[in-house]
Structure 1
Amino acid sequence: MTFIKRLELQGFKSFANKMTVDLSEGFSTFVGANGSGKSNVIDALCFVLGKSSKKSMRAELLSDLIFNGGKKGRSAKYAEVGLVFDNSNNVFPYEGDEFKISRRVLEKGNSVFKINDNTVKLQEITNALQSANIDPDGFNIILQGEIQKFVDLKDDERRKVIEDVSGISVYESKKKKSIRELEKVEDKLKEARTRLAERERYLKEIINDKKQAEKYLKMQEELKDKKASLLFKKIHDLEQERTVYDEKINKHKESLKQAEAEIRGHEQDIESLQEELVGLKTELAKRGDEEQQAIAKKIDLVKEKKLELENIISNHTREIKRIKQREQNVKKELKDVKLSIKKARQELEEFSTKIKSLAGELKEKREASEVAMADRLVEAKEELLSIEEELSSLKEKLMLIEQSKEYSAEIKKLREKLDIKKSRLEEVVKSLSVNNDKLRELDKKKEEVMDYLQHLNSVRIKLETKKESLIDYSTKGVKSIMNSGINGVEGTIASLGLVDKRFNTALNVAAGSMINSVVVSDDKCAQRCIEYLRRSKSGTASFIPLNKIKSRPVSSSDKKLKKVKGAVDFAINLVNFDDKYRQAFEYVFRNTLVVHDLDTARRVGLNTIRMVTLEGDLINTSGLMTGGYRGKSSSGFLDKDIDKQFIELETNERKYNRYKKEINEELSRLRELIIKDREEKARIESLINELGENIESLEPRVKEVSGPQEIEGRIKSLTERKAELKELLKQKVNEQVINRVKEEINHLEDEYNQLVIDKGVKESELNKVLVKEQERLVEIMDKMAEESKVFKQELAQAKEDLENKTGELKELKKEESKFYKELKDLYDERDKVLKAVEDNEKAISELRKSNYDVKEKVQSLNLERASIVAKLDGLRTAFKEFSDWEPRQVRKSVEDLQVDINKLEVVIKNFGPVNMKSIETYREAEKDFDRIKNKTDELTSEKEEVLNVIEGIEDKKKKTFLDAFNEIRDNFKRIFARLSPGGIAKLILENEEDPFEGGVIALIRPKGKKILTLKSMSGGEKTIAALAFIFAIQEYNPTPFYIMDEVDAALDKANTDKLAEMIADYSNRSQFIVVSHNDELISASNYLYGVSMDKKGVSDIVSIKLPE
């Protein structure tokens, strides 16, 4: 197992200088004063390991981790942490006895990761750590205050912790893989069963055709045999057969007339349905415009208001936090002032005691001096003392005068500073007012932009509805192909061309049904599309493969017709399209000429060229003319104007969205400025109050001192009188005695006077500075409390409004959903009409196909009739040549044979169409059915195997979890008993039958107490329980190292001793790095690391190896 050998720091938080900390196996403890940077060591470890939460490193941004310069230094340009692991056992998949990871964060917040000084991605570091059983977000790293996280775990969260530790994720992975396999098998099985059912239905459908074909072949063989024998005996009956053919031909002609009548009926139905379709599309466009615009505008307004409220909540929360921080600072200042007042009063008491003592001593000395002097000098001595006392008082006043000069200078400076701050306050207030005005103006502009964007959205809906109606796919098959996503599908002819609205009707008619033909890249793509339609049973469609289609450009002779008066141009020239689709459009339009009217068409020549008038009348070269009234087409080519409107719309949308973005950015900038202005305003007002109070406290000191000239004159006269008295005393008293007494008295007087002055200064400081400061701080606290109250009230109101707006937005979303549901009904109705149109067109197609078959039959019957006539002529001639011919070995008479032949021919003729390929088709389909059935059986077996695998995985997963749970439960019970002697701890499965459907309950009974849940325990008991759970996991799945930051904070001495003993035991197996203040943990450590911080705010670390 590995361990951390070295920690390298540079520019990380308080560790400004490059530093290397050697770490060892065993138990290491980091100690130091609060604020010295101990926890910064833990933050560094979390940072380099890649722990996912920035909050765990006590930083909002990664750039906050860079050393900020401390108190007076320069900030670092980056922060870097390196971690060196022991790799002597090749735990990490890298060569060498050491394995190093490092991480550097730059000023912009981006990180650089390295392994052995080579730049890598974070995932590579994570993979390397995982190979050594190291998880940056695992339970082996417990940060300050995080011990509570283990206490607060819910029962199911506690179960998930054990799941993670047990490593059952590998089974979950296998299970998910098996489930995916099962889904694939089920999909294949479903597809196989669908195909099997299709083949079974197909067999049932064609078996009758097969039987009929076999019967038909048998009859044909019999007829062939009879005809071979009796061909020349049929002359008489051929006349009758010719009559039968005539009747059949007449009957088919009658059926053709009836089919044509049915086709006309279907065409009338289509025209009626088209009119209904126009109404539905108009209703869709109308409702989709007005109602959607109204709902969307409401939603946008509510979203805007919701965003505004969220900004208010964010700003107010930040303001409350700022006030709270200021309150803490003021409280600290108030506490310091109170301590200063208390200290000053103690000093005053000491001064009073000393003054009283010195006054007594001075009195004794004076009395002694009076004994030594002659009685006649008493009066002089008393006068001298009086003079000296007055001189002392006058000197004190002079000193106060000097101080008053300093106070005056200080007041002057304070007033200048006050004026500057007031001027700055006016600027800030003005800036705040201007920014608020700008904010309101921008809010108004933003609302106008949002309204216009909503208008553009409405225009887009109208254009898209109009565009959708124009390129609306006429059949289910075309719609299915356009939505299939098949590679190579280019689009329909209608969607690939743009036309002038003047020519729309003419070009729609000229393209005819091919307007909805699908253009594809090649014939292979067309084949894929057809197979897709067949598989999905989505109808039919026509395809134009660009690699196979043969077009015929307009000939030079046809081009001359364009010069006829009234001719517009050839249709191909009136459509705008990509040149790669030219062949497709030439194939659709061929040489169709667009003319103004039918008169122009006649001038050109009705049989000359295919023509179409502007009103949609079509003239074919055969002379067939189709025309009449045409309503406004609901579909067809896209109008050039629509394309132009789309381009203009997109340009405006980009322009106004860019304008909206600029406004939002400016709004954000202004809001930030307003917040900064408010903060600066509050700070300046606080400074102004502070400066005003300082001025008020200094001014009385200046006023209470009188003029210095009078005092100096009095001092001069007193000094002269003092000199006279001293001279007198020299003459009258023994000089030696007087000098000794004088020296003692002067010394005591000086000391006494100094104490009086010091006491006066201290009283002045106490009454006029400290007390005033205390009152000022109390007043600031009251103001901040009121300001905080206002912000909290506004914050609560904003949160309430935000909740209301959230509910309102939810209701609007419901309304919007209901609106789109109603629109869906209209779309469904439209699809029903389109389906009816498709059914009618399909019926017409079937009828026309049937007519074609009937015409083919009539033509065939005519040919056969002609053949019979020819045969009769031939037979008559032949009979003249073979008049003596007799039948060869025929058992039946000629009459009986003729009857048999007639019956066979009638039966065969009435047999109807026979699918002769059905026999081979049935044989192939039967083989396909057997093959698919075998595949279905194989897939069913495969499904059962996968289900068995999943069941086996679940059993292994449950067993692995229960093994881990039982071991951790036993560890938890034993470790808790060790940490809390006499106590009992249990882990119980909430659902023993299916542990993954329940949680893991933790029950604790401390010594002498009832069984408790974790939440009802004391702080120390909770810590013991959490640590027992962590150590129980450690014993089950040990990691190379454990990092703990003040986990012992809530423990008493006895419990701390037990924790220290346990960590010492576990440190023989894993490395422990602990931050603590407790002597018990420090004493139990193998290595001690002291963390300190110098006056510049830079941390340092020293290490000590403790004796065994």
Structure 2
Amino acid sequence: MVGFKSFALKTDLAFTDGVTAIVGPNGCGKSNIVDGIRWVLGEQKTSALRADSMDQVIFNGSKSRKPLGMSEVSLTIENNKGILPTEYSQVVITRRLFRSGESQYLLNKTQCRLRDILDLFMDTGMGSDAYSVIELKMIETILSDKADERRHLFEEAAGVTKYKARRKEASRKLEAAQRDIARVQDIVREVQKTVNSLARQAEKARQHQELSTRLRELDRMLFAFEYAEEYVILKQLEARITEIRQRRELAEASVTTSEAEVVSAERGQQEKEAELRIALDAETDVRTAVSEVQQQISVLDERTAATRRALERIDREANESQGQRSTMDEELARVRERLVAVVEELSQAQTEAEAKRQRVTEASERLAAARSETAQRRESLQVARQSLNDQRAQVDRLRVQAEGLQRRLNDTEGLQLQAAERLRAVEEQIASEAADLPALDAALAEAESRLHEAEERERTLRSEQEALQKDSEDVRSTIAHNSASLEFLVGLVDTTESSKFLLNTPEWTPSGEKLTLAEVINTDERFRIAIEAALGDAARYFVVANRDEARQAIAALSRNNVGKATFLCRDSIPALPDPGQLTIDDGILGWASELVAADDQLRGAVRGILGRTAIVASIDDAWRAVGTTSADSAVTLNGEVVHRAGAVRGGSTSRTEGVRVGRRERIDQLRADIATLQQRAEDIDARVRDVKSELGTIDLRKLGDDVRRAALVRNERMQRIDALRGRIDDIAGQRDALDRDAETFRTELESLRVASEESDRLLTSSIEAVAALDSDLHTVQA
């Protein structure tokens, strides 16, 4: 299903063995599927499809999709058991409807009629109104309907519907045949009247039949030749269509592969970004660990240097103590020498020695105090240096963290730029794709307009063709009728021996055409029988120019001993006045001589022959005319004659009665009418050929294919735009996540900056404290 009700996109549904019902929540499309099956099987009632008009089955658009211009449903049936009366094992029924109103039915992708589909499913249990497709609401309807209304389902299930339909069709055909037979019988009765005159046309008809047969053979040969040419062209077009379809499939496969590669590349890029973030985190951890190790190394180096200085100081103090000890020994020696030398000064020396011991004790105490203070200063200096090293390590860690965050921020900003670039590229692609939408809409509208115009033109031409064919049949029927009448009139000759001889003999050669009085004069159609009856034998008088022509004819009759004939000599006809006034009413129609059309010379002869003969409507009017008027005789429209003397002539009317009157003029008129009708028939045939030629140039299938291609291109373009919009949403989500990460990194960098400034301040303070302690230590040691 494509474009049918709520199924905007192409949807395939497979009904495998055992599937008997479609269930689901409200609004999921169950009824639309049932409506689609009914519709493709030929449903014509919009109420059964839950619609007010048939174009409502076409997808009417939504918030995110525009309305479609075509609805199509295809039903594929496996005919392995041969239930359907066709040789195909798989039957595909397709129905299409365009917003222009055109509806197409296809059987195995071949356009067909609705009648063909209905006949295919007749008596199979499948159909738009059969029991094979039943909605939930129809169950209650079936159970609650009358028995006569349920009878249709039972007949369909029993296989009776097909035979009833065939019986009804046969009855219609039989009635039409009976009407045709009745008409044929009427025509036969009508033609039977002119069979004798048409006998001479048998040979011509045989020749016409042979020529027609030859013409049909030539037409068949021409049709076979044209069919062979068209078949070759069709095969070439099918090969070209196959090639185009293969190229389209290759292009679609290439596009699919490219899209898959793009998706795979994006997925790989995301994985690489994740690995990059993990690597950056690992690098930050390593840098932190390295900084800590370097800090520990610096502390150990400082401790080693302090230990080395302490050892040097201890060595110096030991050396100083050794020097002092040597000095004291020397002094003791000198004291002993002086004690030995001057015993007398013992008390004085003892006093001085005591004083010196007192001074040594004080010096020792001062030395111990100095050593204690120096040790305290060294310890304070060591603590200050340890704090300084800690501050330096902290500053290094903060710097490493700041550099890592800055790199991650730079990477995030790069990803933001890439996301913005991708977003801009997708938006440009959407703009590029959407730029052609008005042109595609216009192309679709133009294709639909061309299709509608072609359909309208085809309907007009077909109507004109039917009208022309009907006119052609009418004209040819009229030509045939007039030709039959013409041949009848031409073949109508006087049966008397003298008249037949004069008409055919070369011994009599008048100056004009050999015509009788009835043939020369003329009158209204309804008066012909009456005028011929009134003329009597005078109707057979030969009209000649002068008496010499009459004598020539009489001599010929005498030589050949073929009877007598009467001649009306124009140079001897006197001018006679009209019969006078006649009371005209509904029954009495006028003087016969005055109701005849003749030239001025023959007028006197007509008045002399017809005399005071009146034409009346009926036999009663005839008796009334001869009894109450000045008429000597009266003739009815049916050829009955009443004389004032009491004589009356009447009886049945033959089919040839009255046809001689105006025969010559009627022959000329029929010939002119036949020529005009033949010209009109040729004009109609030429117009029919033009119409057929123009119909041959109208390719509704091609125009329909153009509409479908335009609709398909537009739908594919909308699908691509929708896919691009989905990518925009994905990229926008990625960009938002990157914005959040960048903001987090900036916040952490700001915190690290504040912490780094505090560490720098503490480091400066520690450096100053260490310098002061170092100065104090030097002062104490000095």
TM-score normalised to structure 1 length: 0.25
Which has the higher Rg, Structure 1 or Structure 2?
2
